Structure 1
Amino acid sequence: MKIGIAGAGAVGGYFGAYLKQAGHDVVFLARGKHLEAMKQSGLTIIENHDERMTIHGVFTEDLSSFLDASLILFCVKSPDTRATAEQIKSLGNDDSIILTLQNGVDNEEILIDIFGEERVLSAATYISSHVEKPGVIKQEGVVKLIIGALHEAGVPTCQQIADVLNEANIDTAMSDSIMESKWKKVLWNATFNPLAALSQATVGEILDDEELRMTAEQVCREVLAVANKNGIPLGEKMLDVTFKKAEFARGHKPSMLQDRLHGKQMEIESLSGYFVKKGRELSVETPATQALYSNLLFIENGQHVVKR
């Protein structure tokens, strides 16, 4: 199978490497120093400190390489979703299946708008990985995908893709309510990602600081309220579940914090702004989330001011 990896960073590069090792024709879309390093020396995956594999393949910034791909893993940052999707759509490949492994619960709406509901699959992605240096991805802990179709017509295809992923040693399960699974995952992200990015604290520091923890718990309650009002039945117990999961990631610097530290654009809209705006739409108050959102927007806009 020809597979395109739209965004061969910490997540896309990891899964693409396993698919390449399994014998698939994989095209990795990347840019900058990461792309140049992969072109020169291949892509190296380091797992659990000492397990290492290096794969060689097609590394490019030319989206036309996706023209005849049967499957595209959509792994770009949320702010790039629409532009990247429209470029892929313009290739005229109307048969490819799009599987989003992105954060948030809003990217599906954009992808459905561009590709149609039957072609889009979604995944709740459980992985702790980062680009250690250009061309090298480091991953620690357990990796798991939960994938599902967004339209009943896509269920058979979803099963086929799940089989492909499992055969490539990627632990993958199917869900008949994938968006509920995604909301459960985004609950953790919306609680810890924006707060970590703003405070520059690790997950453990948020848990141990009384004031930061109170803010995190309030944000979690607000996102839960938005989910339930939006028709996603998440019980109050999900607050405890979310914080118990956080205990296993104490040393982790969430992706938004990593982006801020590296001067990259943060996923502010998908992991914060979406819940503020959806809350307004549904008449759910989100004051703590609003405070994080407005502060992060101010910080990011300031980073892009041209200094004279």
Structure 2
Amino acid sequence: MPLKSVSSVDIPSELGRVAIIGAGAVGCYYGGRLAQHGHDVHFLMRSDYEVVSEKGLHITSPLGDVQLPVKAHQTTTDIGPCDLVIIAMKVTSNAALLDLLPPLLHANTALLTLQNGLGNEEFLAEHFGGERVLGGLCFVCINRTAPGEINHIAQGRINLGEHTRAPLPRTRQIAAEFQRSQIDCQVMESLAAARWQKLVWNIPFNGLSIAAGGMDTEAILANPAQETRVRELMAEIIQTAASLGHTLPENLIETMVKNTRTMAAYKPSSLIDYLEGREVELEAIWGQPIRQAAVAGLSMPLVQALHDELKARLS
């Protein structure tokens, strides 16, 4: 179903009215790119509201630095019904969506989650209807360095797909508008397979960065024992995905390790959460894959061991 705007005559954007829920690094970066290229984007802001209302968003990036005036709001009621809602908040806060999302919905509102881990599309489908739900996997090196300040370091692709079904016209429409807005966006035939592919990177690098006491990606790959563990974890995830019917690209391990070397001393998002005292997305990234595998009679001993290490460190 194509996106439809409740006031399309007033909005030139093919996306219609867009809301960003979760205005951290990911939400501000991708929302900022859309706003930069003429889309009608509304940001739900909490701690950054006053700074962003006054000064806008500042994005530093290899694609060019930008200073953007943006539409910031303190409540979703102030934003009102939208055509596309992009959810970029931490999975650990998903319960808040039960109150945040209803004021944003009309009959055709699409919900796009850019969150980490497994289970997010299922959560949205259960509470708001599966026909609304899309998922996106973000492959980007990015940090929020201060209120309203986003540092884009490298990459930026989004792999986009529909929840439990093949791509629709709206899927390709959203991807086309993202591409027009300096966002590399590729449509996936299987969102589930794309989710498992993202886990091949997220599980080892986010996990080992915390388990090893605060190591960035460069330090992990400079340590032979840690690199070996990265590769072994990746192999187990790929094997599990294949057993669940999700065949991932050949040479994925080599490709991911090679690409990670180009990130230099990058701190994964879970490490930043840990260092800053925020709740880590333990169950979505590490626990849920183990549980999905167990339902199919499969075990993930290496991921389980890492999950147990993280749980002990975070408790």
State the TM-score, normalized to the length of structure 1.
0.88
Question: SS where residue 101 of structure 2 aligns?
Answer: helix
The alpha-carbon distance between structure 1 residues 154 and 235, as it changes in their structure 2 partners (threshold 3 A), is closer
User: What are the Cα deviations for residues 105-139 of structure 1, in whole angstroms up to 9, with x where unaligned?
Assistant: 32122122222222111112121110011110010
Matched length: 299
Q: Partner amino acid for 1:220? A: M
Query: Deviation of residue 166 (structure 1)?
Result: 2.1
- Asked if the contact 1:162/1:173 (under 8 Å) is kept, the reply is yes
Query: Deviation of residue 204 (structure 1)?
Result: 1.9
Aligned position for 2:233: 219
Q: Distance in 2 between matches of 1:172 and 1:92?
A: 24
Is residue 246 of structure 1 aligned with residue 228 of structure 2?
no
User: What are the Cα deviations for residues 178-216 of structure 1, in whole angstroms up to 9, with x where unaligned?
Assistant: 332232122111121111122111112212212222322
Q: Percent identity?
A: 28
Q: Distance in 1 between matches of 2:50 and 2:314?
A: 27
Q: Distance in 1 between matches of 2:226 and 2:167?
A: 42
Question: SS where residue 65 of structure 2 aligns?
Answer: strand
Q: Distance in 2 between matches of 1:271 and 1:193?
A: 9
Is residue 144 of structure 1 aligned with residue 157 of structure 2?
yes
Aligned position for 1:22: 37
Q: Distance in 2 between matches of 1:215 and 1:283?
A: 24
Question: SS where residue 259 of structure 2 aligns?
Answer: helix
Question: SS where residue 104 of structure 1 aligns?
Answer: coil
- Asked if the contact 2:86/2:113 (under 8 Å) is kept, the reply is yes
Is residue 62 of structure 1 aligned with residue 90 of structure 2?
no
Q: Distance in 1 between matches of 2:187 and 2:249?
A: 22
Aligned position for 1:306: none
- Asked if the contact 1:219/1:286 (under 8 Å) is kept, the reply is no
5+ residue gaps, structure 1, are 302-308
Equivalent residue runs for 1:162-241 within 5 Å? 162-199=175-212, 200-234=214-248, 237-241=251-255
* CA-atom RMSD in angstroms: 2.2
The alpha-carbon distance between structure 1 residues 153 and 283, as it changes in their structure 2 partners (threshold 3 A), is closer
Aligned position for 2:20: 5
Q: Distance in 2 between matches of 1:153 and 1:242?
A: 26
User: What are the Cα deviations for residues 69-91 of structure 1, in whole angstroms up to 9, with x where unaligned?
Assistant: 11011111111224315531366
- Asked if the contact 2:20/2:86 (under 8 Å) is kept, the reply is yes
- Asked if the contact 2:193/2:241 (under 8 Å) is kept, the reply is no
Q: Partner amino acid for 2:32? A: A
Aligned position for 2:3: none
Which residue of 125, 141, 147 corresponds with 2:138? 125
5+ residue gaps, structure 2, are 1-15
Q: Distance in 2 between matches of 1:253 and 1:243?
A: 15
Q: Distance in 1 between matches of 2:160 and 2:104?
A: 25
Aligned position for 1:299: 313
The alpha-carbon distance between structure 1 residues 170 and 91, as it changes in their structure 2 partners (threshold 3 A), is closer
User: What are the Cα deviations for residues 39-81 of structure 1, in whole angstroms up to 9, with x where unaligned?
Assistant: 2311111113x93211122222312234311101111111122
